[in-house]
């Protein structure tokens, strides 16, 4: 069939080689039954790609195909519309197996990060109000974590520096100094998580920022008390 179609296309005058309309998917998986449907009756079909040709059947304006292996396949349909020869080449990309289980990526467990915040916040003394300070820090973590999810950050170091700068801006330098020992400990906590392979992409960093924000939310809700009950 392929040689006949090839010869037919070669003999067609270029001026009348109009395009036939074919409805078919552009992608599929191995073993999936793909249906191709042309806009005209009496269409002659051909599979240009050799692989899987035994799995190709045509019946008038419709054709069916199921790939045995992945790859790029090309189909040709030749017909007549308004007394003129028309044709269409359709490309199909096949990959994977339909019965392969879809394994979602394993998300690292960062839930302990909020507990770390609550514990470290205990000794902090903020003369302007620890609960308010915790709210400000939580808002900054949440803001920059959400920016990371939106693709604003490609480098976690840039995100961390931007978050720290916001701490200083919103709290004021003199007030931020009271919180700085805790921030240093949180940097150490980040390094530990990196060593454990829990911070591999910006999504995981954003998730960590959210857990830190939750921890500071809890400190604020407790009136500024950490695990040791200190408030100022």
Per-residue confidence (pLDDT) for residue 67, from 0 to 100:
81
Is the overall model pTM greater than 0.85, yes or no? no
- Overall domain count for the chain: 2
Per-residue pLDDT at 52: 45
pLDDT digits (tens, 9 = 90+) for 77-131: 888 777 777 888 889 888 865 555 544 556 778 889 999 999 999 899 888 889 9
CB-CB contact of 120 with 180 (8 Å): no
Residue 60's closest CA among 42, 78, 35? 42
Whether the predicted pLDDT of 31 surpasses 80: no
Does the residue 202 lie in any domain? yes
Pair (123, 194) in one structural domain: yes
Do 153 and 65 share a structural domain? no
From 49, 64, 94, the end of a domain falls on 94
First-to-last CA distance in the chain?
Answer: 86
Q: Are residues 9 and 50 in the same domain?
A: yes
CATH code of residue 56: 2.60.40.10
Model confidence pLDDT, tens digit, residues 154-212:
899 999 999 999 999 999 999 999 999 999 999 999 999 999 888 988 999 999 999 99
**Could you tell me the residue range of the domain that residue 182 belongs to?**
112-221
Among 56, 60, 14, 69, residue whose Cα is nearest residue 37: 60
Give pLDDT, residue 72: 86
117 and 216 within one domain: yes
β-pairing verdict for 71-81 and 84-94: antiparallel
Contacts of 60 (CB under 8 A, 6+ apart): 41, 42, 43
Which of residues 75 and 10 earns the better pLDDT score? 75
Residue 49 in this model has a pLDDT that exceeds 80? no
Considering the domain architecture, whether residues 85 and 135 belong to the same structural domain is answered as no
* % of the chain residues with pLDDT over 90: 39
Q: Which residues pair with 59 in a beta bridge?
A: 62
Residues 126 and 84 in one domain: no
Q: Are residues 32 and 125 in the same domain?
A: no
Asked whether residue 232 carries a pLDDT value surpassing 50, the answer given is no
What is the spatial distance between Cα 48 and Cα 226, in angstroms, rounded to a whole number? 71
Q: Is residue 48 part of a domain?
A: yes
| 137 and 88 inside one domain | no
Last residue of one domain, picked from the residues 94, 123, 139: 94
- Rounded-to-integer distance, Cα 87 and Cα 114, Å: 63
**Is residue 139 domain-shared with residue 77, that is, in the same domain?**
no
Q: Are residues 214 and 125 in the same domain?
A: yes
d(CA 152, CA 143): 11
Q: What is the pLDDT of residue 161?
A: 93
Mean pLDDT value of segment 24-48 = 84
105/56 Cα distance (integer angstroms)? 36
Residue 29 lies in a domain: yes
Full DSSP string of 97-143: -TTS---PPPPP--THHHHHHHHHHTT---TT-HHHHHHHHHHHHHH
What's the confidence (pLDDT) of residue 50? 57
Are 138 and 166 part of one and the same domain? yes
């Amino acid at each position: 069939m392929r040689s006949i179609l090839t010869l037919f296309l070669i003999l067609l005058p270029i001026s009348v080689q109009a395009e036939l309309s074919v409805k078919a998917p552009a992608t599929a998986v191995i073993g999936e039954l793909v249906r191709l449907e042309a806009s005209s009756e009496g269409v002659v079909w051909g599979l240009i790609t050799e692989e899987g040709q035994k799995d190709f059947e045509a019946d008038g304006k419709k054709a069916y195909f199921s790939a045995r292996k992945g790859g790029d396949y090309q189909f040709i349909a030749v017909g007549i519309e308004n007394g003129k020869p028309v044709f269409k080449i359709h490309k199909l990309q096949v990959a994977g197996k339909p019965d392969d289980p879809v394994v979602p990526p394993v998300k690292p467990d960062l839930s302990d990060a909020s507990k770390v915040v609550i514990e470290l916040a205990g000794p902090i003394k903020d003369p302007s109000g620890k609960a308010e300070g915790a709210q400000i820090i939580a808002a900054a973590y949440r803001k920059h974590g959400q920016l990371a999810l939106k693709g604003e950050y490609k480098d976690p170091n840039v995100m961390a520096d931007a978050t720290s700068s916001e701490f200083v801006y919103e709290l004021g330098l003199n007030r931020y100094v009271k919180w700085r020992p805790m921030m240093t400990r949180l940097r150490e906590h980040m390094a530990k998580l990196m060593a454990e392979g829990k911070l591999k992409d910006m999504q995981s960093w954003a998730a960590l920022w959210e857990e830190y924000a939750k921890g500071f939310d809890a400190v604020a809700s407790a009136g500024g008390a950490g695990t040791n009950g200190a408030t100022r």
